[in-house]
Amino acid sequence: MASALATGSAAAAPAPEARPGPDVPVRTAELTLVTGDTVTLDYYPDGRQAARVKGSEQYRSYTLDKQAYVVPFAAEPYLAAGVLDERLFNVTKLVEQGFDRQGSLPLILSYPKQDMSIAAAPPRGSARQAVLASASAQAVRAERGKMGEFWGALAGRGASLNGGIAKVWLDGKVQSTLDTSVPQVGAPAAWQAGFDGTGGTVAVLDTGIDDTHPDLAGKVVEHKNFSDAPAAEDKHGHGTHVASTIAGSGAASGGAKKGVAPGAKLLSGKVLNDGGSGSESGIIAGMEWAAGKAKVVSMSLGGGPTDGTDPMSVAVNRISADTGALFVIAAGNSGFGGQETVSSPGTADSALTVAAVDKQDQLAPFSSKGPRFGDHALKPDIAAPGVAISAAKANSAGGERYVSANGTSMATPHVAGAAAILAQRNPKWTPAQLKTALMQTAKPLNGISTYDQGAGRLEAGVAATAQQQLRADAGSLSLGRFLGPYGSVDPVTRKVTYTNDGSAEATLDLTVQARSAGGATAPAEALSVSPATLSIPAGGSATATVTLNPNAGEVGLYTGALTATQRGGAAVLRTVLGFNKDLQHKVSVTATARDGKAPGYASVALWNLDDGKYHRVNVDATGSGGLLLPPGKYFVGSFLSTADPSRNDTEYTVVTKDEVEVKGSTSIVLDGRGAKEIQARTPEKTEAVTLSQTWTRASGARRFTSGFFYGRTVDRIYAVPSAPVTRGEFELANRMWLETPKLAARVVSPDTVLRPDYLGGGQELGKRIDGTHRLPVVYVGTGTPAEFAGRDVRGKIALIQQSKDITPNDQVRNAANAKAGVAAVFGSGPGRFADYTTRNPAIPGLELSNVEGKRLLELLGRGPVTLELKGVSHSPVQYHLVAPFAGSIPADLSFDASPATLATERTKLHAVRPDQVGMLGMFSFRPYDFIGLTSTYDRRFPYDHVRYFSANNTRFNPLFYGGPDGDSVAGNGSAPLPVAGSDRTVNWYQGPFQPGVSKALVPVSRVDDKLRLNFAEYLDSDPDHYLRDLGASTVARVYRDGEQVAEQPHALGELAVGVADKANYRVELDVNQGRPGWSVGTESFSSWSFGSARGEAGKTVPLPVLQARWNLDLDLDNAAPADRVHALNLTAATQPGAPPVKVTEVRAEVSYNDGGSWEAVDLRALGSDGGYSGAIQHPRKADSSGFVSLKVQAADAEGNSVEQTLIRAYALK
C-alpha cells in the first residue's frame, strides 16, 4: 500500500478551476507532516475536505469545530507524551497558514531550561534558522524532501525525543490582531502635567512603520526586518496605525489626532510580513532585539490560546526579567470563541495583556476572554479602546491620511503609550512596577468580568499624574485552579508588599472579596487577608498575605480584589484576583481487546455532550488509563486493536459507551470480548484492500467525529453492540474496499495454510501470480549470491530469511538471477517489513511471517516441501462499501452486498504507455463528514473491472493517477450519488487527449475587462472529466486583434487584457512536450478565437469558445487496428456553460508520420447539433510511425473558431 500524493515536480502546473458542484474539488493543497507522511487535501465547494495520505499505513483522524486532524500512527506515543505540538497535525490550519506552499516546515525545538543543547547542530534533514536563547529553543526548517530523515533523527525510544529536545513546536503563523480614544484614556491630563513620553523609546513589533507619514516624521530611530518580506517598510499599514496611536504627532490633522505619548521615539521591528503574518521564531528574535533598545515593547499580534508555556510566552518572561523591558501585548480577537481564548504571547505571566472596549466602555465582542487556557490564571490584565480607532494610514501621500480600525491591536498601543509616559515619570521602575501601576489606576468597568477586562480600562492620566506615595508590588493575583475532591486541599497563599514613598507613616486597611460567575460570594473561611491593617513607615514597606482555602465555599470561577485603603488619605490600591474552584473527578479507563487481552493499541476519546469539549485518554500497555474530568455526561468512543504476535497483524474493534455520567470517581470499562464482526455478504469470495471505521456523535449544534484508517495488516473489523442513544445523533460508519483475494498459499502435505502477501504491501511492484501453481521450496539462507551458488532453484520457490545485512530488494534480485520462479522472504522476528521498493522485478516476491518461515524450515528438515499458490493478476471486481449503523450498534453486523443492492460501474482505465503502473484511491463521504480519507494502491494499467458502490446516501469520489508516484496526470471528475440497481460505464484516460474545457470546469469567461482563462492541458474522452498535468512543457499566448498582449506558462487565470469595445481574442496553447514516458498525447497545438466586448459591470459572462471534441473507438491501450478502416466522430460546439452557436465549418486532417504530412478527412454532418462522422484507412503499422495524429479546424457563424493539432493522438496495433 502507498497513499497518495507524492510531492510533484517543481514544474507542476496549476490546476484548472473546477466548476462548483458537490463532487468536483475546487482546490488542492499538499502538506508534508513532521513524520514525513504526505497529506494531500482536495477542497469541495460545500466545505468538505478529502485527504490522501502517503507514507503511514495507519492513521487516526478527528474533526472538531471544522478543524481536521490527521495523525500518523508513528506520532501517537509522542503526542500522548506531550512532546509534539498537536498543531503539527491540524491539516486544516496548516493549509490555512500556507504551509502547503512552502518547501520546508518551520519548527521550534525547545530544550530544558538553560540547556546548552540549543547550540548543538539541528537534527538531520533540517537547517537552523535562529537560536532563540530567551526560549531555550532553536528555530529550524525541516525540508519537505528530507522530512522522513528528520523524523528518523528526532524520534527516540519510547516517547522521548533525541538530541536533548524537550518538545517540537510548530513555528506557526502569528497575525496582527484614534481621535476620541486618546482623551478616553486620559492622555491629555498626562500631557498637561508634562508627561508625553519624551526621552523614552517604544519598540513596535508589527508590520513596520511608514515614517514618511507626517505624524511619524522623525519618530523612528531604527528599522529592522525579522519577517520574510524583502524590506522593513510597512506595505500593510497595521504597524503604522499602531505606531501613530502610540507616538503620532497629529501633524496631518493639525494636532487633533495625536498619539498617547507624542513625545516618545519609536523602534520599528518588522516581524509581520506585508500580508500581516509572521513566524513565532521571527517574533522571538524581534523581541530579543527590541528589549535591548526600548523600555516598552508594543506587540499588536497573537497566535492561538496557550497556557503560557509556549516558546513565545517563555521568551517574553525571560527577556523581560533579563532586560527590564515591559511587553505590552494584545489579548487577541477570538472573543467570539468564548472563554480561554487569550492568545500567545499575551499569555505570558509578565506581559501586560490588553483587552478591547468601545468608546462607551463596553467590552468589544471580538476581544479575547480569559481566564488563561489550562491553568485559569488571570488574563487579560487591562483594557483600552479598540473599536473605530482612527490613526495614521500608511503610504497615504496625496490621499486620506487616516484610517479607522478595530481590534485588540488598536487597544494595545494605547497602553504602550501610557507605559512610555509612566516610564518618563518613573525612569527607574521595573517592568513589574510599570505594569502594576497601570493596572491599579485602571477604571473597573461595571458588568464586565475581570477575566474579560483585567483590572479595568486604562487611565493614562491618572497613572501619570497620581500624587499618592503608596504602591503595591502586584497588579493581580492568580490564586490557581483547583480540581477537587475537596476537604484536604492545601491552602494557597500570596504575598503583596506595599511601599510608602512618602515622608510620613501611612496606615492601610485591607479587605479581600471574590464572587463567582454564578453569583456566590467567597466566605471569610475561604478567602482572607492578614493582617487586616498595615502600618508602613515613611520610606518603608510592609507585606500582607492573602490566603485561599479551596475547601470552603461553592464551586465556581471567582474574580475579586484585594483593596488597600489609606486612612486619612485618598489612596486606594486595588489588586484584582481570580481563582477557579473547579470540580473534576477521577475517571479510570480499562480497555480489553476482543481476545481478552490488553489491546495492542487503543484510541479512546471522551466527548462532553454538554459543552462539546474533547478529551483523550492515554491507555498503557496493560490496557489502563485515566484522567480528570468535570462533571457531566460523556460519549466514549474507542478503537481497540487485537495483536497477532506472529506478524503484528491486527483486527480492530469499536467499543462505545453513551451518556456516561461523571459525578464522582468513575470507572469506564471498554470490553471488546462481546464484539461482532462487520461482514459484507458478497456473491464471490473477497478480501479487504483497506478498512476504516469512523464514529460521529452530535449533541445540539455540536459534533465530534473520530476515525481510524487501518493499514494493510488489518483485515477484520468488529464492534460491540450498543443501546440506542437518547440524545442527539450517533453513527458508526464502516468503510470497506474489497477485491478478489490476490493470493492464497498452502503446503500440499501436510496441509498447512499460509498467509503470504506480496512484498511492498501488495503494491503492483512486480509480477503477480496468476492461476494455480505447485512449486517445490528450496531454502537459500539470507539470499546472498554465495548462498544461491550451487543450488538448483530454477522454477522453484526460493525461501529466504530476512537479514539486516541484505535488503529484500537484493534478495529478490538474486533469486531472479538464479532463475527462481518465486522469492519468498520470511521475517527475522515478529511483525511485517515494508522496505521493499523494487518495481518490475523479474519474479514475484512474497512475504511470510517469522512463524510461517520457521514452520517451512521445520518441514524441509523432514523432506521435500511443495507449496500450492493461487492468485489473480488483477481483481475483476471492486466493492466500495460503507455500512452505517445509526443511533446504535446492532447485534447483527453483517449486511447484504449483492449487486442488486448496490450501484454498478464498469470502469475502464486505459493505458498511456507500456508497463504502466498507476494508482487508485476512493473517498467516501457520509452526509456529516467534514473530511474524507483514502490511501492509494498501485494497479497496472490498462485495468478493466466492475465496481460496486453502497447506495445509502454515501457519496464516493474516485481518485486516479497515471503514475505510481503521483507525479503524473491525475483524473478528476464528478460521480453521481449511487442508486441501487443503476449501471453505468466509465472510461478513464481514453484518448485522444486534447486541451480544452470540460463540464467539470468553470467556463472561460469575462468580467469587466478581465479574461478568465481556464483551459486544461489534457482532457480525455469523457466530457465530465479533466486531467491535471504535472510535468508537461507548455506555453500560452493571448492576442487581441492580432497583437500579442500576454504570454505565460499556462492558459489559466485572470488577465486584464480586455477593452470596452468588441475585439477579437485568440488564445494559443502549445503542449510542446507531453508527460514524460507517455506514448500518446505527446504534443498538441491549440488556438481558440472568439469575439468579446465589455458587459454589465461585475457580471461574469462565459465566452463563445468553440471546441471540437473527438470520440474514437480506442481500446484499453489507446490504440486502434492498423491496416483497417477506422471510424472518426467529433462534436464541434461552444464550451460547456456558454450559449450554443451554429457551427458553419468543420475540417479535419490525419497524419501517420507525426505531422510530417497530412491527409484530408471526409466528414459528414450528423444533424444540426455539431456532430460529424468520417472514416479513414489506417496504413500498415510498418508504413507509419506507429501512431495517428489529428488536426481539426472549426468555425461558427459569428466568426469564433478553433484550430487544434494532436500529435500521436492514438497508437496503431
**C-alpha to C-alpha distance for 610 and 149, rounded to whole angstroms:** 44
Q: Is the distance from CB of 1138 to CB of 1091 less than 8 angstroms?
A: no
Q: Is the distance from CB of 791 to CB of 781 less than 8 angstroms?
A: no
Torsion of CA 886, 890, 894, 897, to 10 degrees: -30
Q: Is the distance from CB of 902 to CB of 910 less than 8 angstroms?
A: no
Judge whether 274 counts as a catalytic residue.
Answer: no
Cell of 357: 472596549
Q: Is the distance from CB of 457 to CB of 355 less than 8 angstroms?
A: no
**C-alpha to C-alpha distance for 903 and 981, rounded to whole angstroms:** 5
Residue whose C-alpha cell reads 450559449 in the numeric block: 1139
**C-alpha to C-alpha distance for 480 and 63, rounded to whole angstroms:** 31
Which of 196, 206, 211, 1029 is an active site residue?
206
Strand-strand pairing, 931-934 and 49-54: parallel
Q: Which helix (H) or strand (E) holds 240?
A: helix 238-247
Nearest alpha carbon to residue 261 among 278, 244, 275: 244
Q: Is the distance from CB of 240 to CB of 234 less than 8 angstroms?
A: yes
Judge whether 982 counts as a catalytic residue.
Answer: no
Name the DSSP class of 84: B
Number of H helices, E strands in the chain: 15, 81
Measure the CA angle with vertex 4, ends 715 and 840; round to 5°: 80
Judge whether 238 counts as a catalytic residue.
Answer: yes
**Chain-centre distance for alpha carbon 374:** 24
User: Within 13 Å, how many C-alpha atoms sit on residue 356's CB side?
Assistant: 29
3-class secondary structure for 248-270? Answer: CCCHHHCCCCCCCCCCCEEEEEE
Nearest alpha carbon to residue 272 among 242, 247, 236: 236
Asked if the peptide bond before residue 750 counts as cis, ω within 30 degrees of 0, the response is: yes
Q: Is the distance from CB of 615 to CB of 628 less than 8 angstroms?
A: no
**C-alpha to C-alpha distance for 757 and 271, rounded to whole angstroms:** 54
Q: Is the distance from CB of 618 to CB of 625 less than 8 angstroms?
A: yes
Give how far Cα 802 sits from Cα of 365, 775, 806, Å: 64, 21, 8
**C-alpha to C-alpha distance for 306 and 379, rounded to whole angstroms:** 11
Strand-strand pairing, 1005-1007 and 1100-1102: antiparallel
Q: Where are the alpha helices (DSSP H) in 604-678?
A: none
**C-alpha to C-alpha distance for 913 and 1113, rounded to whole angstroms:** 18
Which of 61, 300, 409, 603 is an active site residue?
409
Cell of 481: 485552579
Which runs of E-coded beta strand occur in 1020-1105? 1025-1028, 1033-1040, 1043-1048, 1052-1055, 1063-1073, 1083-1092, 1100-1102
**Sheet containing 624-629, strands listed edge to edge, beginning at the edge strand earlier in sequence:** 624-629, 585-592, 666-671
Measure the CA angle with vertex 582, ends 581 and 588; round to 5°: 145
**Chain-centre distance for alpha carbon 5:** 15
**Chain-centre distance for alpha carbon 358:** 35
Which of 238, 414, 1025, 1126 is an active site residue?
238
**Chain-centre distance for alpha carbon 582:** 33
Q: Is the distance from CB of 200 to CB of 326 less than 8 angstroms?
A: no
Q: Which residues lie below 8 Å from residue 797, measured CB to CB, with a gap of 6+?
A: 775, 776, 777, 778, 820, 821, 822, 823, 824, 867
- Give the N- to C-terminal CA distance of the chain in Å, as an integer: 33
**C-alpha to C-alpha distance for 472 and 477, rounded to whole angstroms:** 12
**So which residues are the catalytic ones?**
206, 238, 409
